[in-house]
């Protein structure tokens, strides 16, 4: 497939994926603390319950910002030949990170910082893996702190994805149409002397604060 044809196919696939996501989830963005129309460079960090998490975030972003916003994803999953590789690399321009570090020299933080330096925004999942437990959030790994420390001028935005785990429950292959929300919070920045533990606690609390309250709670 030629590069031009591949680019057109990627654009069409991106349109189809976002249209399907809206049809299936009627996804609604909720913006708290910043104006999404301002083309600010951002690191979006979200809870992680599904392989479709970054799709919902990407879907609700202003169209002008989608192409510059790159999901950070596992290379072992998204580099498998075929449609998965096409979607991960061509449609979403994912920044693929090797999760098996044996023999791998590239530093993931350096890769992400380089993408930021090139003008991209990023979508990251600081839990590091999908949360298939009953806990609201898994503990955050240190990568978000290291990245925020490396590029302190970039807004770090918490994003709560609500209800997607019920759209495609664990073990199910048939999605259930349900309304989802993607709630964006106010940007964070690492303090000049802020230690890792303090920042991770603050970031995790900011994310949990965005979770919609259930009736009677």
In a domain, 216, yes or no: no
Say which residues have a Cβ less than 8 Å from residue 16's Cβ, sequence separation at least 6.
none
Residue 213 included in any domain: no
CATH number of the domain to which 120 belongs: 3.40.1130.10
Please give the C-alpha separations between residue 214 and each of 14, 103, 158, in angstroms, as whole numbers.
33, 46, 20
Task: Look up residue 108 and give its two tokens.
Answer: 């993931």
What's residue 216's pLDDT?
A: 47
Lowest mean pLDDT among 37-51, 89-103, 142-156: 89-103
Do the domain assignments include residue 143? yes
Determine the average pLDDT of the residues in 112-134: 91
Mean pLDDT over each residue of the chain, to the nearest integer: 85
Phi then psi for residue 62, to 5 deg, are: -55, 140
| Crossing angle (nearest 10°) for helices 53-60 and 3-25 | 90
Q: Per residue in 162-200, pLDDT tens?
A: 865 555 555 555 455 567 889 999 999 999 899 999 999
Residue-wise pLDDT for 37-71, tens only, equals 888 899 999 998 887 788 889 999 988 888 899 99
CA distance 123 to 94: 9
Q: Are strands 121-124 and 155-162 parallel, antiparallel or unpaired?
A: unpaired
pLDDT top residue among 103 and 88: 88
State the residue range of the domain holding 180: 3-208
């Amino acid at each position: 497939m030629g590069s031009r044809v591949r680019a057109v196919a990627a654009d069409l696939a991106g349109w189809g994926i976002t249209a399907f996501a809206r049809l299936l989830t009627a996804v609604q963005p909720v913006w708290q603390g910043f104006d999404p129309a301002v083309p600010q460079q951002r690191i979006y960090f979200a809870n992680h319950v599904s392989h479709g998490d970054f799709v919902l975030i990407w879907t609700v972003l202003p169209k002008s910002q989608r192409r510059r916003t790159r999901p950070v994803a596992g290379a072992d999953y998204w580099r498998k030949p075929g449609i998965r590789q096409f979607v991960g690399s061509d449609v979403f321009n994912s920044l693929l990170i090797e999760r098996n570090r044996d023999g791998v020299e590239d530093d993931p933080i350096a890769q992400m910082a380089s993408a930021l330096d090139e003008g991209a925004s990023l979508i990251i999942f600081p839990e590091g893996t999908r949360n298939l437990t009953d806990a609201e959030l898994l503990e955050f790994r240190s990568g978000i702190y290291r990245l925020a420390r490396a590029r302190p001028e970039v807004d770090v935005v918490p994003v709560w994805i609500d209800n997607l785990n019920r759209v495609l429950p664990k073990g199910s292959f048939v999605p259930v149409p349900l309304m989802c929300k993607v709630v964006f919070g106010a940007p964070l920045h690492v303090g000049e002397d802020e230690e890792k533990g303090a920042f991770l606690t603050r970031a995790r609390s900011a994310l949990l604060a965005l979770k919609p309250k259930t009736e009677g709670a």
